[in-house]
Amino acid sequence: MHDVVVLGAGMAGVTAARECERNGLTAVVLEATERIGGRMLTTRDFANAPVECGAEFVHTENADTWIEIKAGQFETLKCNPADGYIMSIGGVDSPDLYQDPSLAQLGDLLSEIAAFDGPDMTAAEFVDRKGLTGVARVMAEQMLTVHPLGDLDQLSMIGIRDDRVVELERGVDWRLTAGYDALPAWIGKNLDVRYETKVDKIQWSESGATAFSTTGEEFAARSVICTAPIGVLKAGAIQFSPDLPTSKWQALNGLEMGSVMKILFRFKERFWDDGLTMVGCDGPVRLYWTPLYGWGEDATPVLIAYVGGYRARALSARTEAEAVAIALADLDRIFPKVLPSQLIEDSQRVDWCTNENTRGGYSFVRVGGSGSRQALAASDTGALFWAGDGTATESIAAVVHAAYATGLRSAAEVISFLGR
């Protein structure tokens, strides 16, 4: 019998398992796919440098994962989005766009979000109460939804505040030159990971727990750490016996898995300025960025279309060819003098909406769901413990370093539990 069984070999899972083993416990990690990394997924054959299909950035200089990045001697590239960020709304680009008179309505929106003190309301209500119109409204929606991945009428303003979205918006990003999924692979390199082992049932009690795979294997342990994504849990893909307490289901009801996809584009030549980092816009895709920013002039000309919320669901409902055509037409609209669709060399859609092992990108708090992350994280289910981005409470939520922090926290809880 193992001391701990960990569900999922994403960042939270491998971090939790390694921490348990470092403290003398035996751990086995059950992973539904054939690899470590979860929603960290790097392609190394699309360009002459790694391109991220999933999580992309080390967010802010305060990220919990810097200790691992330095310990693993990973090289990083700094990418401050503000350095080369362009907004394009209604055919007008920045800096000319910033002369639009409606922008006076915005005020210091980020500070207002950070100081929001309730009562809770949807982001849509918040925008309406400010009376935002035109360009100001489009920019406010961008600020409020580009990270949480929810729609304006879903997102909780208290949730946005508590998830520290403003800290992320104001921060600087870094990329790993080795590819982001090299980090969890390094953390988990010596772990006992059982690949292609999908769990569909957990039996738990005060004294132990057993995970059951879809092929009938049983993994009995003194404890279990569940890092399954919110979308998987809410879909009922894992049965719990006995059923989870009401507090856990209420927590899951207060959270949602955001819809997200990426479309990778490789072009015959670069048609954007060398300093471009991101393009925010008002079409079927709200954000494009340059994943090889900082790699130098010889970097393959690649852009990523980053699509969240209802826009992601709309493109997910189309065929890959249709989704690619829609995004290319959008790029033609933004760069009419170039017509990027005539320069396309290759493309790849990465649709996290339809991935059965994630059922979305990452979690956000629904209106009225304040405190849901804390309730889901609580160690109140006997030998069954919780980690993953849905349980992040101490840092920017729904980012890689948040998942890492939950892995450390859940491991500490198991170590204490088994030491009693």
pLDDT of residue 82: 84
pLDDT digits (tens, 9 = 90+) for 126-171: 999 999 999 999 999 999 998 999 999 999 999 999 999 999 999 9
Domain end point (choices 354, 371, 406): 354
**Same domain as 286, residue 203:** no
**Same domain as 376, residue 233:** yes
Domain of 391, CATH number, reads 3.50.50.60
**Same domain as 132, residue 236:** no
**Same domain as 86, residue 234:** no
Judged by DSSP in three states, 35 sits in coil
pLDDT digits (tens, 9 = 90+) for 325-376: 999 999 999 999 999 999 999 999 999 999 999 999 999 999 999 999 999 9
**Same domain as 176, residue 56:** yes
Q: Total structural domains in the chain? A: 3
Distance CA 6, CA 385 (A): 9
**Same domain as 380, residue 234:** yes
Distance CA 90, CA 129 (A): 24
Judged by DSSP in three states, 192 sits in coil
pLDDT digits (tens, 9 = 90+) for 75-131: 999 998 888 999 999 999 999 999 999 999 999 999 999 999 989 999 999 999 999
pLDDT digits (tens, 9 = 90+) for 302-326: 999 999 999 999 999 999 999 999 9
Distance CA 226, CA 274 (A): 43
**Same domain as 312, residue 195:** no
Please give the residue range of the domain that contains residue 224.
Answer: 4-39+181-255+363-418
Residue 394 vs residue 127, higher pLDDT: 127
**Same domain as 371, residue 411:** yes
Distance CA 290, CA 79 (A): 10
Distance CA 83, CA 259 (A): 28
pLDDT of residue 9: 98
**Same domain as 93, residue 75:** no
pLDDT of residue 420: 62
Strands (E), 135-233: 173-176, 193-194, 199-204, 209-213, 218-221, 224-226
Domain end point (choices 336, 354, 372): 354
Other CB atoms within 10 A of residue 306 CB:
20
Determine the residue type at 128.
D
**Same domain as 207, residue 297:** no
Determine the residue type at 351.
D
User: Alpha carbon 357 to chain centroid distance?
Assistant: 14
- Give the closest residue to 399 by CA, choosing from 253, 273, 258: 258
pLDDT over 90 for what percent of the chain? 96
β-strand 76-79 against 173-176: which pairing, if any? antiparallel
- Give the closest residue to 171 by CA, choosing from 82, 111, 56, 86: 82
pLDDT digits (tens, 9 = 90+) for 3-53: 999 999 999 999 999 999 999 999 999 999 999 999 999 999 999 999 999
**Same domain as 277, residue 176:** yes
- Give the closest residue to 176 by CA, choosing from 64, 45, 65: 65
Residue 119 has phi, psi (to 5 degrees) of -65, 160
pLDDT digits (tens, 9 = 90+) for 251-294: 999 999 999 999 999 999 999 998 999 999 999 999 999 999 99
Domain end point (choices 148, 170, 192): 170
DSSP assignments along 301-364, one per residue: -EEEEEEEHHHHHHHHTS-HHHHHHHHHHHHHHHSTTT-GGGTEEEEEEEEGGG-TTTSSS-EE
**Same domain as 265, residue 326:** yes
